[in-house]
Amino acid sequence: MERPFLIRPGARMVCGVAVIQIVDEINPIPGADRIETANILGWKVVVKKGDFKAGAECVYCEIDSVLPEREEFAFLEKVKYRIKTICLRKQISQGICFPLEILNNIPHAHFEWVPSPAGHIPTIFSDSYKGNKELKDWYKELSVGDDITEILGVKKYEIPPHRKALMGNVKGPFPGYVPKTDEMRVQSIPAILDELRGVT
């Protein structure tokens, strides 16, 4: 039986701001008892102690991600759900990561992404689907490198036009009919950086 697509056919898998990634290392923070750093794609992310282990998969959201207004992300309300570079206990943290289980609750899930016994679920989760064992842990079908930006409802932060105007002569927002490139941050490709440095 052919399994349904969890990522839409033809979707780009590596350039999103929310991606399934591997925790490369976990390191302590001097003087900190409740937090530590997770090394993900060369980025240092401050996490709660014990939440992640080296080699585990996670949902990693880059800086300048804007997360949806959901109960799980209520702690980000004061910063308007935008992920920024911060400093905790003198440790720079760039990005944020979550356990894969956070994908079990996607109230806006589109029918292309989440399978169900009937074929596909509606655009919005209904009470009849909550707790459905067929939907639980569906994220295990995903692989490292899969772009889940749209699935999770994450947006890329864009500087508002009125702020751009303060930076120079800006006539308006970027026109929608002009294509934009969608390149990865070079910092997110540590293997390439090592190659350029001559590290094998």
Domain ranges of the chain: 18-197
Distance CA 85, CA 101 (A): 24
Task: Return averaged pLDDT per consecutive 10 residues of the chain, 200 residues in all.
Answer: 37 66 95 94 93 95 92 92 93 94 64 44 43 58 84 84 60 68 58 64
DSSP assignments along 141-159, one per residue = G--TT-B-HHHHT-EE---
What single letter denotes the amino acid at residue 101? E
Residue with tokens 């590596």: 14
Per-residue pLDDT at 70: 85
- The reported pTM is 0.68
Name, in order, each residue with C-beta under 8 angstroms of 101's C-beta and a sequence gap of 6 or more: 137, 139
Do residues 190 and 100 make contact, with C-beta atoms less than 8 angstroms apart? no
Per-residue pLDDT at 146: 86
Distance CA 96, CA 75 (A): 12
- For 111, the 3-state DSSP assignment is coil
Per-residue pLDDT at 64: 92
